[in-house]
Amino acid sequence: MTAALVDTEWLSGHLADPGLRVIEVNRNGVDAYQSGHIPGAIGWNWKDMLWDPLQRQFPASDLFARRLGAEGIADTTTIVLYGDPVQFGTYAWWVLRYMGHNDVRLLDGGRTKWVAEGRALTGTVEAPDPVEYRPNPRRDGMRAGREDVLGCLGAPDVTILDHRSIEEYTGARVAPTGMADVGAERYGRIPGAQHIAYHALLNEDDTFKSPAELRDVIATVVPAKDRSIVSYCRLSHRATLACFAMTEILGYRNVRVYDGSWTEWGSMVGMPVER
């Protein structure tokens, strides 16, 4: 296990560290953040901070640097993330690592465990002092595009993993149960994809299962840690959670996330689909 996963006790003892920034990443606006957050945390809406303003693409490096610098984050800052829900924290972890930031960590259990332990939340929003952020090279090996995935179909040395619900994987839905069933024009999965639902990697308090339990789930499908893996879901949030578990907890060395995921694959003309 790497140092990328920190627990609530560790974070509680480091909240006052000058070189550390805590970030809550929200799915819908920042309402949850404003209603109460970990003291000192800043709040991000995931699309506003992590996507290009026009394209479904990540920001140019200079734009991303300006965004982070305005949030009081330098390229040497230790960033600790938690999501609402949990997979939005891992998505931000993956994007920040892809964009070249070095010290990015995830709070195990996030808000769920923090609150369950009776730790304080605050409604106070503090404006950070802007700093300079110097961009680092992107880690392109973390990401797979649609052409990469097409090239993996049927490849004997690649495993494609689908981290959606069983209803999405089998083609009964294109969105998780409880959400509007929208997001792609076709139902089904990428041909040959194996299924590991992201929630099978978590405990009820949103913490990751133990390394032994994670191995029981993942190694039955992908036993070799040097195996080439492509992970996807609907929008890639759940895939980044699985990527974190595989790379930062279990030590898998060759995992890429297909961030276009099913919303892209299931709506492109002529793409092969399996049910």
The neighbouring-strand residues paired with 159 are: 229
Rounded CA separation 226/239 (Å)? 18
What strands, in cross-sheet order, belong to the sheet with 20-26?
5-6, 104-107, 78-84, 20-26, 42-45
Say if CB 195 and CB 166 are below 8 A apart. Answer: yes
Residue from 95, 142, 190, 233 carrying the catalytic annotation: 233
Residues composing the chain:
275
Cβ count within 10 A of residue 144:
24
42-45/20-26 β-pairing = parallel
> In the block, which residue shows the tokens 């990328």?
4
Q: Is 233 a catalytic residue?
A: yes
Catalytic residue numbers, as ranges: 233
